[in-house]
Structure 1
Amino acid sequence: MTFLRAILVLLSLSVLASCGSNKFQTYNGPEVTRVVVLKSARQVQLWHHDRVLKAYKAGLGFAPEGHKYREGDGRTPEGTYMIDRRNPKSQFHLSIGVSYPNLADRKRADLMGFAPGGDIFIHGRGKTYKPDAPFDWTAGCIAVTDEEIEEIYAMVKDGTPISILP
């Protein structure tokens, strides 16, 4: 009887373990053809041609007003870029990269005598996020919840255009 009980306990534990959350979702809906970030509304929108599929509340860089001109300014860039990479091991749960800086950004920063910065992502909060942190807390990235970045990560493919608007 003890052997049978041990087998049942092990079986129950394995069933419970398989119910754990998986941060890698699948998505079979309409293609996301554009990502739009409305900085003034603190919103990320996923578009399929002429309609919004999903919208998320988002935090920005700690100095959210204006375009990013240089490394360390705390601003989120403005302009049209591409989703160009993904990081499944991000310290902010999951992240997808934005192709900032583009050629114009690099030229502008060079003329001003600054490095343009880089490593701009849409990402989750991760373990380092503190709930009492200000809403705009990143170094220039676009932050959503961990659950939301799981959905965005599944829906948005590399090569998708992203427009970041004031």
Structure 2
Amino acid sequence: MFFNLKEKQTIETVLKKYSSKVKVSLKNNFEINSITFDHFEMAILAFKKEQVVELYVRKNETDNWKLLKKYPFTAFSGTMGPKLKNGDKQIPEGIYKMEYLNPNSSYHLSIKVNYPNTFDKEKANLEQRTDLGGDIMIHGKSVTIGCIPVGDDTIEEIFVLASKAKNVNFPIIIAPHDFRTNKLFPQIETISWEKELYTSISKELANFKI
């Protein structure tokens, strides 16, 4: 009897497989922004209403962020408002960081978002919520129950860039909508602290010029 077991990948084998392809596909994007593929910092913005991911780059922390590329979500779950508990199918909202890269995702490749963050945990403690859920990823394919799917070709690009970024735990900001173009905060019936959350997200988004 033979078992067709999928060979485990490493970050290095993923890079070997996709780096050249990604470098070619994003060559013009980097050149337009006068940034080299081998030396940059990155950040990801994700907007739930628009269902779009924006990838920003800069040379170093003293430079301004520049938009490298936009990618559409390939699926969506939940509604406007933060993730509150395990199983609510909500995409989190907040100021997060990249936690680690997963080269062996069930959804091709994935990037772990550090949900729940300190803010999420503080609000949960105040409201006596204990099971906040986790394993929030930006990943390939086109299905989701609370993550951000972007398709296989897109996650290959983002994964390769994430592995090369000089700021290893780069920012991932997830907002209900783009506060840079629509400053109104959604009213979320399930919480009383949305203004606090959205004010902090709005201030962070102001660092990224459209």
**Residue 77 of structure 1 aligns to a residue in which SS?**
coil
* 1:46-84 residue CA offsets vs partner (Å, 9 max, x unmatched): 101432101100146521321111111111111111001
Larger mean CA deviation between 46-55 and 81-90 belongs to: 46-55
Q: Distance in 2 between matches of 1:50 and 1:85?
A: 22
**Structure 1 position 112, deviation (Å):** 3.0
**Structure 1 position 40, deviation (Å):** 1.3
Q: Does 1:122 align with 2:138?
A: yes
Q: Distance in 1 between matches of 2:41 and 2:68?
A: 8
Q: How does 1:36-75 map to 2 (within 5 A)?
A: 36-48=45-57, 49-59=64-74, 61-75=76-90
Q: Distance in 2 between matches of 1:96 and 1:70?
A: 21
Question: Match of 2:127, as an amino acid?
Answer: M
Identity of aligned residues (%): 36
Question: Match of 2:146, as an amino acid?
Answer: G
Contact 2:51 2:76 survives alignment (8 Å): no
Contact 1:83 1:160 survives alignment (8 Å): yes
**Residue 81 of structure 2 aligns to a residue in which SS?**
coil
- The number of residue pairs the alignment matches comes to 135
- Equivalent position to 2:171, from 150, 157, 161: 161
**Residue 149 of structure 1 aligns to a residue in which SS?**
helix
- Structure 1 stretches of at least 4 aligned residues deviating more than 4 Å after TM superposition: none
Q: Distance in 2 between matches of 1:78 and 1:104?
A: 11
Residue 146 of structure 2: aligned partner: 140
- Equivalent position to 1:34, from 34, 43, 62: 43
The TM-score, its normalising length taken from structure 1, stands at 0.73
Q: Distance in 2 between matches of 1:142 and 1:151?
A: 15
Q: Distance in 2 between matches of 1:140 and 1:72?
A: 8
Residue 152 of structure 1: aligned partner: 158
Q: Does 1:93 align with 2:103?
A: no
**Structure 1 position 34, deviation (Å):** 1.2
Q: Distance in 2 between matches of 1:32 and 1:46?
A: 11
Contact 2:74 2:151 survives alignment (8 Å): no
What are structure 2's unaligned runs of at least 5 residues?
Answer: 1-12, 24-35, 58-63, 177-210
The TM-score, its normalising length taken from structure 2, stands at 0.59
Q: Which has the higher strand share?
A: 1
**Structure 1 position 103, deviation (Å):** 1.7
Question: Match of 2:52, as an amino acid?
Answer: Q
